[in-house]
Amino acid sequence: MTEQSLRPALLADIGGTNARFALCTRGGAVHDRMTLTCAEHSDLVAAAREYLRQTAPSQAPALGAIAVAAPLSGGNQVTMTNHRWSFSISEVQRRLDLTSLTVVNDFAAIALGVQRLAPGDRIQVGGGTAVESAPVAVLGPGTGLGVSALVFSGADAAPVVGEGGHVTMAPFDDRESEVLRVLRRSFDHVSAERVVSGPGLVNLYRALNQVLDKTPEADITPPEITRRAINHACPVCAETVDMFCAMLGTVAANLALSVDARGGVYVAGGIVPKLGELFVRSGFRDRFQDKGRFSDYLSGIPTYVITHPTPAFLGLSGLAAAP
């Protein structure tokens, strides 16, 4: 066994708000997880170096596997959608002294990690039993709205990467039509991400206040909206979160139909797992199944909330441990 094969791999999951890091052994074991705030660091390399300084591994990483919330066109340059960081893959590899560096979309990493979830890493919210080797859909609201899928060819699985968070958001009922009409005054395109994300919660809250002829709180944050909804402290916040969950159900159902996701639909991201029972009781699952002639088709598809704290690392560890 060579000295290089004994050195750990550096894992990173870079979102619009947080940069999560870990080390991975050649066998795939993940350790020394740490979360840093993107805004507090000038670039990806600075954040990675701070992580390595704090963890001080006995051997410097040889390999790197990074998941990033950005469209990847196959080129060398990466520009994030919801953060100012932009970087050259080859330059990051050189500056971190890595012998190789793999960069994938963040939700592609989560899709690859679905197969590595333990039973306690997910909660089923409705539906039947997943069909083995059928496509799997993955989506999740955070700073943005990530979307991916996993397809199978025999024993091999491959992620399908796209920018599904930017599809046009369609209203389901008159209330949603009113809210989206308000939002169209502010945005030239009201995508799913404009409403089903952390900033989307604030957009919904403000639009609902306008529809209800109320005055919104000026500096309210997504965590405050969800906190008040969970504690029944604000009727508008409660309706905001319920509309958010229902709209997520619309987007999830559209994705399931598009990729034939009879292998299940997995919800990740930093928002939904924190809602707990409020999400389970929300209109998410009813909306997911409410698709007219295809309601029976969707009713059999299981939907899950991923509760694992760093699901992207499950996929990245597989990439880092691959021969």
pLDDT single digits (tens) 6-27:
689 999 999 888 999 999 987 7
- Using DSSP's 3-state secondary structure scheme, residue 304 falls into strand
pLDDT computed for residue 155 by the predictor:
85
Dist. CA 187–CA 182, nearest whole Å:
9
Residue 5 has pLDDT above 70, yes or no: no
Class of 118-307 in CATH: alpha beta
Residue with tokens 């402290």: 233
Burial 237-265 (b: 16+ CB within 10 A, else e): bbbbbbbbbbbbbbbbbbbbebbebbbbb
Residue 74 has pLDDT above 80, yes or no: no
pLDDT computed for residue 1 by the predictor:
43
Percent of the chain with pLDDT strictly greater than 90:
87
List the Cα angle 253/160/132 in 5-degree steps.
70
Show me where the domains of the chain are located. Answer: 3-105+310-321, 118-307
Dist. CA 264–CA 275, nearest whole Å:
20
Dist. CA 84–CA 170, nearest whole Å:
29
Tens of pLDDT, residue by residue over 87-112, are: 999 999 999 999 999 999 999 999 99
- The CATH H-level (homologous superfamily) assignment of domain 3-105+310-321 is ATPase, nucleotide binding domain (3.30.420.40)
List the Cα angle 39/45/50 in 5-degree steps.
75
Global pTM? 0.93
Dist. CA 12–CA 284, nearest whole Å:
31
Dist. CA 20–CA 34, nearest whole Å:
6
Among residues 189, 194, 198, 218, the alpha carbon closest in space to that of 206 is found at: 218
